[in-house]
Structure 1
Amino acid sequence: MTKSEKTQIIESLTIEFKESNAIAVCDYKGLSVKDLESFRVAVRPLGIKVQVVKNTLASIALKNAGADGLEFRDTNIFIWGEDQISLAKAISKFAENSAGKFVIKMGFFEGNVVDTKHIELVSKMPSRDELLGMLLSVWTGPARYFVTALDNLRKQKEEN
């Protein structure tokens, strides 16, 4: 890899990392290319990007993006996206199904370095769509009860 190629990779990763709210670093030792590719395809609709990058290049790009405090050893795969809940859910689910071959190491969520426990807790939170569904249910509750009461009143008057 030439120096200009490395510079180009660093610049593009810096831009990507600056625009993301969540970055996860995982170990993928033992996974097949087929498994990694199926993971990439599964998370692409969620706006999550997955890439294997050399540790030195990723370290420089993360520092340029303002994500300091992450240290890398061994094999790493970098996963990033806008929504930290969907990212945490995706990597936690994949880690469960990979039989120990895919291990979550650390992350950088909204400007803070986080450990695996934090990522697991975030993965158990309801997603944006689930929260909107809960909110919609709360908002429509009074109207639903009002309609049910009117229907019961109508039935009662029909019986009399």
Structure 2
Amino acid sequence: MTREEKSQVIDAITTKLTDQNVIYLADISGLNALDTSNLRRACFKANIKLAVVKNTLLEKAMMKSDKDFGELPSVLKGNTSIMLSDTGNAPAKLIKEFRKKSDKPLLKGAYVAEAIYVGDDQLETLVSIKSKEEVIGEIVTILQSPAKNVISALQSGGTKLSGIIKTLSEKE
């Protein structure tokens, strides 16, 4: 690869890193062709972009990016794949699900909305991160609950009140 080609690859990776707020680094080495294909298919279905990158080029792209990747460049050893997503916990859930059948991929680190996670032991923490849609759903549920209580109280009160009025009118 010539210097110019490397520069173009670094620029392309830098653009991807700049555009995404959810970046996972994983080790998928050791997966056979079928498992790798299944992983790529699962990533596609989950709207996760998966690419194998050279560590030196990724490190240079991280340095060139305007984001602070903290300790993440230190995990760039051995085989590294980059997973890009719009949902903070989607790659973690995919990795956890995939590891039910295999011991790979291993999580090297992640950058999620300016937070840095380093090491495979952070997988459970990343799985438990709520997506924007999940948080909005919880807020809507919380806001609907009091309104539903008021409406049901008014509805049940209305039937009681009409029953009382009917009983009183029958007595006369």
TM-score class normalised by the smaller sequence: 0.7 to 0.9
> Residues 125 and 132 (structure 1 numbering): CA distance in 2 closer, same or farther, change over 3 Å?
same
The C-alpha deviation readout for 1:57-107, integer Å capped at 9, x for no partner, is: 11211221143532322212111234323333333333x334212111222
Write out aligned runs for 1:38-77 (5 A). 38-44=38-44, 47-65=47-65, 66=67, 67=69, 69=71, 70-71=73-74, 72-77=76-81
% identical aligned pairs: 24
Q: Distance in 2 between matches of 1:133 and 1:112?
A: 23
Question: Aligned equivalents of 1:58 and 1:45: distance in 2?
Answer: 25
CA contact under 8 A between 1:19 and 1:82: conserved in structure 2? no
Q: State how far apart, in whole Å, the 1-side matches of 2:143 and 2:116 are.
A: 36
Question: Alpha-carbon deviations, 1:92-140, whole Å to 9, x = none?
Answer: 333x334212111222334454223334213113332222111111111
In the alignment, structure 1 segments of 5+ residues that lack a partner are none
Which sections of structure 2, spanning at least 5 residues, go unmatched?
165-172
Q: State the one-letter code of the partner of 1:130.
A: E
Cα pair 2:52 2:82 within 8 Å, conserved:
yes
Moved more, 6-15 or 65-74: 65-74
Alignment match, 1:137? 141
Instruction: Report 1:41-120 matches (<5 A).
Output: 41-44=41-44, 47-65=47-65, 66=67, 67=69, 69=71, 70-71=73-74, 72-94=76-98, 96-115=99-118, 116-120=120-124
Q: 1:88 to 1:38 in 2, by over 3 A?
A: same
**Where does residue 121 of structure 1 map in the other structure?**
125
Change in CA separation of 1:158 and 1:33 when aligned onto 2, cut-off 3 Å = farther
Deviations 1:14-70 (A, max 9, x none): 111122223221111222344334433433465532100112211211221143532
Residue in structure 2 matched with residue 12 of structure 1 by the alignment = 12
Q: CA RMSD in A?
A: 2.5
- If the length of structure 1 is used for normalisation, what is the TM-score? 0.81
Count of equivalent residues:
159
**Which shows bigger deviation, 36-45 or 135-144?**
36-45
